Amino acid sequence: MKKVTFLAISLLLIFLFIAFSLSDTSESSTERRQPQENCTVIMVGKKASIDGSTMTTHTADCGMCDWTWRYVPPADHKPGEKRKIYRISQIKTWPPSQGLKWDLIKKDFTGVEIPEVPHTFGYMHGVFGYMNDQQLAIGESTIGNRPKMSNPTQTPVFNITMLTLLAMERCRTAREAIKLMGTLAEQYGYGGEDGGEMLAVADPDEVWVFEIMPVGPLWNPKTGKPGAVWCAQRIPDDHVSICPNESRIGEIDLSNPNYFMASPNTISYAVENGFWDPKSGQPFSWKKAYSPVEGSAASDARRARMWRFFGLVAPSSKFSPSLPNMDYPFSIKPDKLLSVKEVMNMTRDKGYGTFFDPTRGIRGGPYKNPNHDSSARLISDRRVEYTTVTQCRGWLPAAIGGIVWLAWGAQDTSCFMPFYAGIKALPKSFSIGDHWVFNRDSARWAFDYVDFHTQACYSMAIEEVKKAQETWEDGVLKQIPEIDLKALELYKKNPRQASEFLTAFCLNNAENVIKAWWQLGDDLLVKFNHLSYYNTERRTVERRKMEFPELWKRAVKFIDTFYE
């Protein structure tokens, strides 16, 4: 009888799931194509951080994208030189046997060249440009747009990756970058591989949210209309904000250029397409017009990131999980100033201790693995290619003041490594590797190696990972003030010597961390082999340490009764 009841309930649940999927007519399915589970961006104004730096993050949560990084040196250009524009997909990869992505993209030339500038800045980039030698920093989150706005044709010349690379090459400040990217998109068109995108654009003084969207498949340059619609809003210096794959800009005041910038068609395009009616009596809202969403953390756990972030930075705000995500403020003053380490920890947040805790009850299995339960989408994600935390520090020369902290793979099992804006190279191991070919010469695989060996007995293995993070991540964080001082002394005598010093420091630290993570992966394999605890010092096997908890055993016994 129990078997029949259990089978009937299971079939009913499957039927309800299929029926719900087929009948979904919610806003997110009919009005907007919105990727709910990709990248998270955290932004911190200079007066909201402990040390006065601006900060941005990017969790590149793809799971199949190219993860390689490279350094592009500064260059001088002769009058009349041209810059070729390429179509660069965020997702597309090639087998390593065919070559590196950043060589192969040159085969997808748009046919458009724009005038080169006399001098282009050096910068670091992965899927996007992240920081140049002027302390311009960027983070990205896909936000989607209304379906009729999409333009997947080959007519638009620019996509979001290409725009970020040009910003890195040509701009010193966040405002310059926003104006450049917006102007190019208006003139040449935006879309193709990309739809609605958000960029956190920062310099030592300001952090801006820049959002851009296509203007439909019928656009072409002959229309005389802008080939994109975009808007940017500045985060107050003493505030923090987040973008969890959702448009964040609401009501705008274009009469206040100190806090808002936008394309000339920002409002007119919405009116022409019926996205906003001036006679409605409702104020114009950018996100409601172009990228509306429904839901809250309570109604859709996939939208829990917004609620979780505000709870982390401003617990006193006490926002309800039932508050619609569209109703959260653009930014908020944190209850306390944030350090770069605290921002790193936010990128690792799994929602422990909340209703969305992925290890609550028997979730996560006997070893409390937060990666087993995917019912809620929180900031940390097992699919991440890499995570960046950028710091722009205005009290130092740009080459020293800018830092990109880079962590490969899943945040919880990785290690943040610093790369100063003034470096002249990245490790060769950063430029190679992909998901489908294991490669010990690729830096990323060292961190996936550790992550894989952590999953089997997470609650035990993660403690070993934390020890390594304390040694290498916290250790280098403590070193940074000393490195800053030494680099500054050299910079005052000879900026080139300072760059050489910073390059050597960053490359040496990265090499040591990568070696340590390969070793950590080996150690985890040995220590927890066969789900036993192999004490390498005593040369004993301590199986009791690996016993399943009583709650798990009782749950298994209870479920077994359905099959008796």
pLDDT digit string, tens, across residues 117-174:
999 999 999 999 999 999 999 999 999 999 999 999 999 999 999 999 999 999 999 9
**Domain assignment of residue 11, yes or no:** no
**Domain assignment of residue 359, yes or no:** yes
Report pLDDT for 544.
Answer: 84
**Residue 29 pLDDT exceeds 60:** no
**Residue 26 pLDDT exceeds 60:** no
Residues 467 and 378 in one domain: no
Number of domains observed in the structure of the chain: 2
Of the candidates 443, 340, 453, the residue with the CA atom closest to the CA atom of residue 385 = 443
Residue 472 DSSP label: I
Residues 384 and 445 in one domain: no
DSSP-H helix ranges across 229-378: 268-272, 286-290, 304-313, 340-347
Q: What is the mean pLDDT of the chain?
A: 92
Residues 363 and 503 in one domain: no
How far apart CA 180 and CA 186 sit, in angstroms, is: 10
Residues 72 and 189 in one domain: yes
Domain ends where: 337, 362, 395?
Answer: 395
**Domain assignment of residue 426, yes or no:** no
| pTM, entire model | 0.92
**Domain assignment of residue 427, yes or no:** no
**Domain assignment of residue 476, yes or no:** yes
Q: What is the pLDDT of residues 64-121, one digit of tens each?
A: 999 999 999 999 999 999 999 999 999 999 999 999 999 999 999 999 999 999 999 9
How far apart CA 350 and CA 412 sit, in angstroms, is: 9
How far apart CA 224 and CA 242 sit, in angstroms, is: 35
**Domain assignment of residue 407, yes or no:** no
Q: Is 484 helix (H, G, I), strand (E, B) or coil?
A: helix
Residues 124 and 262 in one domain: yes
Q: Which helix (H) or strand (E) holds 180?
A: helix 174-188
Domain ends where: 361, 377, 395?
Answer: 395
Residues 446 and 389 in one domain: no
CA dihedral for 545, 548, 550, 552, sign (positive or negative): positive
Report pLDDT for 25.
Answer: 33
Q: What are phi and psi of 40, to 5 degrees?
A: -115, 135
**Domain assignment of residue 8, yes or no:** no
- Burial letters 327-351, b for 16+ CB under 10 A, else e: ebebbbbbeeebbbebbbebbbbbb
**Domain assignment of residue 244, yes or no:** yes
Q: Which long-range contacts (CB under 8 A, 24 or more apart) does 485-492 make?
A: 487/399, 487/400, 487/420, 487/422, 488/396, 488/397, 488/400, 491/397, 491/399, 491/400
Question: Residue 168: CB partners within 8 Å, gap ≥ 6?
Answer: 72, 121, 123, 125, 129, 130, 131, 132, 136, 138
Residue 521 DSSP label: H
How far apart CA 541 and CA 539 sit, in angstroms, is: 7
Residues 172 and 233 in one domain: yes
Residues 378 and 464 in one domain: no
Residues 257 and 315 in one domain: yes
Residues 264 and 149 in one domain: yes
Of the candidates 125, 117, 133, 113, the residue with the CA atom closest to the CA atom of residue 76 = 117
Of the candidates 255, 256, 254, the residue with the CA atom closest to the CA atom of residue 265 = 254
Residues 380 and 465 in one domain: no
Residues 348 and 460 in one domain: no
Domain ends where: 361, 395, 429?
Answer: 395
**Burial of residue 552, with CB atoms counted within 10 A of its CB: 0-12 exposed, 13-18 middle, 19 or more buried:** middle
Angle between helices 458-469 and 495-527 (to 10 degrees): 150
Q: What is the pLDDT of residues 299-348, one digit of tens each?
A: 999 999 999 999 999 999 999 999 999 999 999 999 999 999 999 999 99
Report pLDDT for 373.
Answer: 84
Print the domain residue range for 337: 22-395
